[in-house]
Amino acid sequence: MVELTEANLVRRARSGELEAMRELYELHASRVYTVVRRLAGDDDLAADLAQDAWANAFQKIRDFRGDAAFGTWVHRIAVNTALTRLRQSARRRDLEQSFDGKSTLGNPDRWPVTAAAERVTVQRALDMLPEGYRSVLWLHDVEGYTHEEIGTRLGIAVGTSKSQLSKARARLKALVVGAKAEVVDHGTS
Amino acid sequence: MVHLSEETLSELLDGAPGAGAQEHLAACSVCQGELEGLRRLRAELRELPELEPPAELWSRVEARLPGAPKARRSRFGWPTLVLMQAAAMAAIFVIGLGVGRMSQPGEEGAVESPVALTAQPAAMTVADAMEVVQRLGTEYDAALANLQRLAQREGQPMPSLTEQRLASLDMLVEASRTALSVEPADPVLNSYLFAALAERDAVLLELGESQGEGSEVLWR
């Protein structure tokens, strides 16, 4: 029944019915906002990204063939919109620097050590990660993207994606657990 | 002992460890704990709750859609909107009197000089105008209640004040009637007209009483 209703909404939205678009929006607004918010790490930017994603989706809804569920389709658009925008933004320039290890953001050795008293939630810790770390971590560990897909979308090498992921995980753990990186001697295996 | 690197722990988490990593892990409780911590964090990430978008997000999206109205459509023409705004202004005028009376209870000129004759921005639609008028109606009631309390404390309100209230209510009645000529079945407009008429009748009675028997009262 839900699928039938949604298919009907999509059909009406494709013919330009604003009310149908609104109903589709309300059905999937949380999911779309969540993914762009996780990638953005910031409320205002997330709102801009969600707005772009939905506008893109409805402007391209005639291209939606129904091969996947509408929610999956719009979710993918949201991820692509967010990554494109982030890549183009000034924040993205910081991200590029982080990939070559020249910036403070990208160099974990320059991060302040989080004391146990400053433990934060996973959600907050995610926001505190550098953008490049956060993007790779979320795309890989939650969205299920492969390193090859991440490399393509972010314009980085597969090896860089793997490296960013391991650093992101370590940093997230340090933020949440409050553990110092020095506790474990990170030598080579 | 040299423990596993964060890269190797990450590979173990993904099920693709380098050579020798599994052997080290089997013998090292520290690295086992590290790996378990990473596993828990990944699970927590995946269980983060969905977030609600800002309430105004849809209106921002809608404004960018082809065929979306630039502003909400009005059922009424601009002349009606202007009248509705005039009604709102009239209500503000009366409220201004009430506020002035309250703020300067002992001063002679307080009642005569309207205070806070607030200029409202142009309403975009009749819905906006009606919202303003309805809100002002509530505030008008509150201001009148204040005036009544003051009247009890200081004597009867001056006739000039009552006449100004009457003029304001006339404007409200006329604005409502004009709007109803376009949308005669609109329940909000009808109820608003009846309320304004009732209020005007009450003011007329009050005016008649304050002028005493033999005074000329114009029933409009």
Query: Distance (Å, rounded) from C-alpha A75 to C-alpha B53?
Result: 14
With an 8 Å Cβ cutoff, the interface of chain B facing chain A consists of: 1-11, 13, 18, 20-21, 24, 30-31, 34, 37-38, 41-42, 44-46, 48, 50-54, 57-58, 60-62, 64-68
Is the Cβ–Cβ distance between B57 and A50 less than 8 Å? yes
Each residue's pLDDT expressed in tens, for chain B with a length of 220 residues: 788 888 999 999 998 877 788 888 888 999 999 999 999 999 999 999 999 999 999 999 999 887 766 544 444 444 444 455 555 555 554 544 444 444 444 444 333 333 333 334 444 455 555 665 566 666 666 666 665 565 555 555 555 667 767 777 777 777 777 776 666 666 666 666 777 777 777 777 776 665 544 433 333 3
What's the Rg (C-alpha) of chain A? 19
Q: What is the pLDDT of residue B137?
A: 62
CA distances from A59 to A3, A25, A68, B27, B59 (A): 22, 13, 18, 57, 16
CA distances from A63 to A16, A153, B95 (A): 13, 21, 56
Query: Distance (Å, rounded) from C-alpha A172 to C-alpha A159?
Result: 20
Q: What is the pLDDT of residue B195?
A: 74
Tell the burial category of B19 from Cβ atoms under 10 Å away from its Cβ (0-12, 13-18, 19+).
Answer: exposed
Which among B1, B41, B51 is the nearest to A176, CB-wise?
B41
With bands split at pLDDT 50, 70 and 90, how would you rate the model's confidence at A188? very low
Q: Do A34 and B8 touch (CB under 8 A)?
A: no
Residues in B touching A50 (Cβ below 8 Å): 53, 57
Residues in B touching A166 (Cβ below 8 Å): 6-7, 9-11
Q: What is the pLDDT of residue A70?
A: 94
Whether the predicted interface score ipTM is above 0.95: no
Q: Do A22 and B45 touch (CB under 8 A)?
A: no
Q: Do A47 and B52 touch (CB under 8 A)?
A: no
Q: Compute the nearest-CA separation of B47 from chain A (Å).
A: 9
pTM exceeding 0.80? no
For residue A100, give the 3-state DSSP assignment: coil
Residues in A touching B18 (Cβ below 8 Å): 189
Which among B24, B41, B51 is the nearest to A173, CB-wise?
B41
